[in-house]
Amino acid sequence: MTFVIPKRLRPWLDQGLNFFYPALCQICRKNRAGADESFICASCVSGKDGVHFLVPPYCDRCCFPFEGDISNKFECSNCREVELHFRYARSAVVTSPLLLDVIHRWKYNRALWFEPFLAELLIREAAPALREEKWDLIVPVPLHSKKEREREFNQAERLARHLSHATTISVNKDLLTRAEFTLTQTQLTREQRAENVRRAFTMKGGKKLNGEKIILLDDVLTTGATTNACAKVLREAGASEVCVWTVARARG
């Protein structure tokens, strides 16, 4: 469960964080940046290796970014070759050195001060889009219990709580479960990723859905193999539609 800090207590929290962590950017280690900025300075955010919001042209199905002047909607060749079980996938930003560093340190080194920064990127782009039609539930992509014990939290679940707070769409983390402990996807090809997670997810306790429209949430979308495997299980259990939202979209 994500604890939402009351606004009246935030200045005290910020003072406490700034006492233990100097108000210094944790990326460049040069410029000032405090807890209000998640310890990331404006120069790092706006630099060439910083934050780049995902704007067209991109694949209308998986949001893979493209260069050039393409004004019409289109699907990339990868989407045309694969059976996709989600209606569409969207991301707030394109992966960059800054984003990858922040996400890695947040997930694996418990650099939790970066979390508000990532949540704000997601909310800025996802919340207005999701309000355009009715969605019933936000479902975070689950971690295997062994991996969650190692990290001490599920990053997708924490992001889901932030998005839920901004949109009032309920989170349900008790639908999907990761039944198989799989290899990390990082070094695998597209085909290997799909096979690696093909049987990894199941509905917890054989639960069924009744036509709900599901927002599947994760931190990064690369090939879409993980989210597609999750979407397949949700659709087979009775979801009428599944869309995917992530903070970042990899370029390849």
- The torsion angles phi and psi of 29, rounded to 5 degrees, stand at 60, 25
- Treating both helix axes as pointing N-terminal to C-terminal, what angle do 115-130 and 155-167 enclose, rounded to 10 degrees? 50
CA 46 to chain centre: 21
- Tokens matching residue 64: 């893979």
Residues 122 and 212 in one domain: yes
Residues 175 and 216 in one domain: yes
Distance of alpha carbon 131 from alpha carbon 125, whole angstroms: 11
pLDDT of residue 251: 83
Residue 1 lies in a domain: no
Place of tokens 């418990």: 110
Q: Which stretch of 16-20, 30-34, 168-172, 205-209 has the lowest confidence by average pLDDT?
A: 16-20
pLDDT over 60 at 187, yes or no: no
Residues 36 and 123 in one domain: no
Sorting pLDDT into bands at 50, 70 and 90, what band is 4? Answer: very low
Rounded to the nearest integer, the mean pLDDT of the chain is 88
Distance of alpha carbon 1 from alpha carbon 126, whole angstroms: 21
The CATH number covering residue 78 comes to 3.40.50.2020
Residue 73 lies in a domain: yes
> For 107-146, what is each residue's pLDDT tens digit?
999 999 999 999 999 999 999 999 999 999 999 999 988 8
pLDDT of residue 82: 87
Residue 5 lies in a domain: no
Residue 78 lies in a domain: yes
- The torsion angles phi and psi of 54, rounded to 5 degrees, stand at -80, 115
Show Cβ contacts of residue 206 under 8 Å, excluding neighbours closer than 6 positions: none
Distance of alpha carbon 96 from alpha carbon 223, whole angstroms: 16
Please tell me the pTM assigned to this model: 0.86
Residues 42 and 65 in one domain: no
Residues 39 and 122 in one domain: no
Residue 22 lies in a domain: yes
pLDDT of residue 148: 84
Amino acid in position 237 = A
Residues 37 and 53 in one domain: no
Residues 77 and 152 in one domain: yes
Domain that holds residue 238: 48-249
Amino acid in position 15 = Q
Q: Number of folded domains in the chain? A: 2
- The torsion angles phi and psi of 233, rounded to 5 degrees, stand at -65, -45
Please report, for the chain, how many H helices and E strands are present, in that order. Answer: 9, 7
Residues 65 and 184 in one domain: yes
Sorting pLDDT into bands at 50, 70 and 90, what band is 67? Answer: confident
